């Protein structure tokens, strides 16, 4: 069965979906997107992802707000059209182009089957790369927002993969730890979690937010604070979070092994709690 997508109110085959050549996302990388997972046919934490897109649209005064009301039905339609239960979902909102007075904003929703990252990776943990070529700055107007201008992230990720790593960690011009290319980062020291503050700047990750909630529920101290590479290398445990990987243990930073080079107990505890949360979502779908 050929993949089908939602494009501006219609379900169409992926090979036939098209936007105009004046589309700002195509020409200039102007647009917003969200990625999330569905479990047993239910788009997990969909409303939180929509709210983040709304916040970014308001911040940039981007004329796509009218699209956000259509997203829940569009996501459901794409899952149904592709007969998907467990999927990676992406919805993209693009403002109208400068050409043509009747051209409105564009909403594209796509989904592909996924079971997440390989289970073996959670058992052994990921190796991450330190991105020293580029910096993440509060002077970047796109920092902290999920925009379609994503090439810098892909460049750093390409460097990481060339070095045999699964992700790359970004730092600010004053050498504070920020986040990874596609995920937020946490360190564990003792019985507490530490993660960079949102104004570092970092993306206000939905999974980051959930992990903070789960940690607090489990009685774990969570501190949002400035961190350095030394904090990272001295951590008892390190893990990454995003909606697709969920909670990914990090057991090596390049050549430096962390702990006993196995996922730590707190990371494993939070991963189990997150898994239970997704299963609860399944049972209510």
Q: What is the pLDDT of residues 38-90, one digit of tens each?
A: 999 999 999 999 999 999 999 999 999 999 999 999 999 999 999 999 999 99
pLDDT above 70 covers a percentage of the chain that reads 97
**Rg of the chain, C-alpha, whole Å:** 19
Under the banding of pLDDT at 50, 70 and 90, the label for residue 284 is very low
Distance (Å, whole) CA 18 – CA 20: 7
Q: Rounded mean pLDDT of 221-236?
A: 97
Q: Rounded mean pLDDT of 10-29?
A: 95
Q: Is the pLDDT at 285 greater than 50, yes or no?
A: no
Structural domains for the chain: 4-113 (3.30.470.10), 119-283 (3.20.10.10)
Q: Is the pLDDT at 99 greater than 90, yes or no?
A: no
| pLDDT tens sequence across 104-140 | 999 999 999 999 999 999 999 999 999 999 999 999 9
| pLDDT tens sequence across 247-283 | 999 999 999 999 899 999 999 999 999 999 998 865 4
With tokens 């997972």, the residue in question is: 37
Q: Is the pLDDT at 144 greater than 60, yes or no?
A: yes
* pTM of the predicted structure, to 2 decimals: 0.96
274 touches 247 (CB < 8 A): yes
Mean residue pLDDT across the chain = 95
Q: Rounded mean pLDDT of 173-197?
A: 97
Which structure tokens are listed for 281? 């979502």
pLDDT above 90 covers a percentage of the chain that reads 93
Measured between alpha carbons, how far apart are the two ends of the chain, in Å? 25
Distance (Å, whole) CA 265 – CA 284: 29
Distance (Å, whole) CA 193 – CA 202: 17
């Amino acid at each position: 069965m050929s993949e089908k997508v939602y494009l501006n109110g219609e379900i169409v085959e992926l090979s036939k979906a098209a936007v105009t050549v004046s589309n700002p996302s195509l020409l200039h990388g102007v647009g917003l997107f969200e990625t999330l997972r569905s479990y047993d046919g239910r788009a997990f934490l969909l409303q939180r992802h929509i709210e983040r897109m709304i916040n970014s649209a308001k911040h940039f005064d981007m004329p796509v707000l009218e699209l956000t009301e259509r997203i829940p039905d569009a996501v459901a339609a794409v899952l149904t059209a592709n007969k998907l239960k467990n999927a990676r979902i992406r919805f993209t909102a693009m403002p109208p182009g400068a050409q043509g007075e009747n051209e409105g904003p564009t909403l594209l929703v796509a989904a592909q089957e996924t079971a997440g990252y390989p289970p073996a990776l959670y058992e052994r943990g990921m190796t991450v790369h330190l991105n020293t070529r580029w910096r993440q700055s509060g002077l970047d107007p796109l920092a902290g927002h999920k925009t379609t201008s994503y090439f810098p992230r892909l460049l750093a990720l390409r460097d990481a993969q060339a070095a045999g790593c699964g992700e790359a960690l970004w730092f600010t011009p004053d050498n504070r730890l920020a986040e990874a290319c596609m995920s937020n980062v946490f360190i564990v020291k003792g019985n507490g979690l530490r993660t960079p503050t949102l104004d570092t700047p970092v993306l206000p990750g939905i999974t980051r937010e959930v992990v903070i909630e789960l940690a607090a529920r489990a009685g774990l101290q969570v501190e949002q604070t400035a961190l350095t590479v030394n904090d990272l290398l001295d951590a008892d445990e390190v893990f990454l979070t995003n909606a697709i990987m969920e909670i990914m243990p990090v057991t090596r930073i390049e050549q430096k092994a962390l702990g006993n080079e196995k996922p730590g107990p707190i990371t494993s505890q939070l991963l189990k709690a997150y898994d239970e949360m997704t299963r609860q979502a399944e049972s209510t779908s």
